[in-house]
Amino acid sequence: MTGTPSVDLAEQTRIVSRLAAEVPDTGLAGPTPCPEYTVGGLLGHLTGLAVAFRDAGRKDLGPTTDTAPDPAGVSLPAAWREELPRVLGELAEAWQDPAAWTGMTRAGGVDLPGEVAGAVAVDELVIHGWDLARATGQEYVPDGAALRLSHAFLLAAAEEGDRGGGIFGPVVPVPDDAPLLDQAVGLSGRHPGWVPPTAP
């Protein structure tokens, strides 16, 4: 990922915040395209990753950046409707500092160049934004710059045979002329046509 350009995360974090705001309390137990997470679990994961990558961008290393993600240990904060948009805003602000994209930092207990950590944060927001939208029946148009960086990151990971951790499954093939979002979703190990299963 050498030479990765910085991206302003502000619009993508606002998009994710708007999606989260439309999730009813009755929908928190529903499934998502990410098998490890219910909707509530996904929202809890987004809250945690926003804090972790906020601190990674600030180079404020400690417990929030040293802990590897564990889907089994994710919990949804009681005040998540206030906390999630707040920490997403702080995440975007942290990565607006050009220094966040340089030097070394840490996220998930892994030491990373700043530009790689930034790309991971963007990818998490883009793909999990899609997860959340699909799981809750909402339209989803990610920020264009964020989507392009997410796709480039996922493509490079696939070409290197690096799935980047437990949330990524085998690449799902999509047509070469498919929309860029569908291509990114396929590279992330998800099927672009996923819809919530119907109740029996």
Lowest mean pLDDT among 21-25, 30-34, 166-170: 166-170
Residues 101-151 pLDDT 10s:
999 999 999 999 999 999 999 999 999 999 999 999 999 999 999 999 999
> What global pTM score does this model have?
0.92
Residue 93's identity, in one-letter code, is: E
What pLDDT, on a 0 to 100 scale, did the predictor assign at position 2?
A: 47
Q: Is the pLDDT of residue 161 over 70?
A: no
Q: Is the pLDDT of residue 7 over 80?
A: yes
What pLDDT, on a 0 to 100 scale, did the predictor assign at position 13?
A: 98
